[in-house]
Copies of this chain bind each other. A is one copy, B any other.
Amino acid sequence: MGKKLTKRSEDYSKWYNELVVKADLAENSGVRGCMVIKPYGYAIWEKMQAALDKKFKETGHENAYFPLFIPKSYLSKEASHVEGFAKECAVVTHYRLKNAEDGSGVIVDPDAKLEEELIVRPTSETIIWDTYRKWIQSYRDLPLLINQWANVVRWEMRTRLFLRTAEFLWQEGHTAHATEREAIEEAEQMMHVYADFAENHMAMPVIKGLKTESERFAGAVETYCIEALMQDGKALQAGTSHFLGQNFAKAFDVKFANKEGKKEHVWATSWGVSTRLMGALIMTHSDDNGLVLPPMLAPIQVVIVPIYKGLDQLDAISEKINPLVKELRAKGITVKYDNRDTHKPGFKFNEYELKGVPVRIAIGQRDLENGTYEVARRDTLEKVTVPAEDVISKIEFLMEDIQRNIHAKALSHRESHITEVDTYEEFKEVINGKGGFVSVHWDGTIETEDKIKEETKATIRCIPIDVKEENGVDMISGKPSKRRVLFAKAY
């Protein structure tokens, strides 16, 4: 445990880094840019995986597994894809080590050089579409709706736990369709699935939208995204879903015979979310005391801490707690009874506060006599005394109320950080001051987008899908614009 966290207001970035480590979520490893996801952090990721996997299966997708390695030549087959992904990646060149002759350890065996280098997958479109060519012959083989849970590697120079690491965990969906319309509908559907997960499981409000050309996935015709707003006013891209057109089908020659027997190229999508969501979750809800977790993703939803002197008192408390634990578990609530004798209650309180356990129950001698519990909620830090007969319904209420409350709080923060402006002066003032999303008219050209990015570091996070048409002019070029877009500085 040790020292307190840095305050968010002092140094948000330092607060984040400290929190991730102190709450036992993840840490840097001896391998540059690669993290170790610790058991507590991994337990949250498992809950995310389970919820997402269920949603993918409910929408008709199946899981499969494709190779970790991609032959170098595959990357070159789709022109814009190679530009985006072939740059910073891990390259396997040899397949054997041997003992050094001087006995100093092992060295790479120069005789074991691969004929063609293998790239550790940064994303799997190429290897998957090379496989789909064999799987798709007829319209009867479509749609092909496949997802993969996997690790990927992108050689990042500046890394941060969960937000940007060389290796990360993710899921990547890769679907093939007979028509353009169906593929677009699939890409849109998955954006909605991601948004639903973010809002309802992570309690994290997101804006659904389209990426501009310069922010699009390398190889995509259209990129759909969900964008969240962190407490420091920076945006975070939380998930993307790509309509790939026929780009990969053409690059890998994947055709199907339609009902009339005519050969056509297949239409494609891909979509993914990653362990980056862990970073988004942490930064959306947590406070200066530590992690705040939505009950739906908390590995421990309720912790019970006994306050006692001597084993007799502990026994009396345990006698009351054991049936309560049983009853809560029967209701599907994850509960931990922390009766460790090696740590004091105060230490435990701090630990579970730091780790974001939604509800903490304390019970001491006086509670035992009065037939009460002390119930504390992590989101507001409120404590109340509850009669024993009401404690289960109180906990059930809190599971829902904390989920709702932290979403409402994050939404209110997001809503108060969307600022409409019409001049570049105001724009710069908001971006460099209050932060958040800035809603402005944009003429649709890469030139103004680039100029703004260069001068302010803000980028177009998305063109919101529910934006209303509105005549205006670009704040820089003065050219006409039909709708507002959202700019922000971003993670």
Contact = CB atoms under 8 A, between A and B. Distances in A.
Interface residues of A, number: 63
A304 interface: no
A153 B94 CA distance: 13
Interface stretch (A84-92, A316-324, A438-446): A84-92
Given A36-B65, A65-B37, A94 B96 contact: no
A106 to B, nearest CB: 5
Given A62-B39, A68-B167, A342-B140, A96 B89 contact: yes
Contacts of A127: 29-31
Given A39-B62, A108-B117, A94 B97 contact: no
Given A30-B71, A36-B131, A69-B31, A89 B82 contact: no
Contacts of A170: none
Contacts of A82: 105-106
A458 interface: no
A76 interface: yes
Contacts of A91: 92-97, 108
Shortest 9 CB-CB contacts between residues of A and residues of B: A34-B67, A39-B62, A37-B65, A76-B105, A91-B94, A95-B155, A86-B97, A31-B67, A93-B93
16 contacts: A29-B131, A30-B131, A31-B69, A31-B118, A31-B127, A39-B62, A39-B63, A42-B65, A69-B90, A72-B108, A87-B96, A88-B96, A89-B96, A91-B95, A97-B119, A140-B342
Interface of A: 27, 29-31, 34-39, 42-43, 45-46, 62-76, 82, 86-98, 105-106, 108, 117-120, 127, 130-131, 134, 140, 146, 150-151, 153, 155, 167, 169, 342
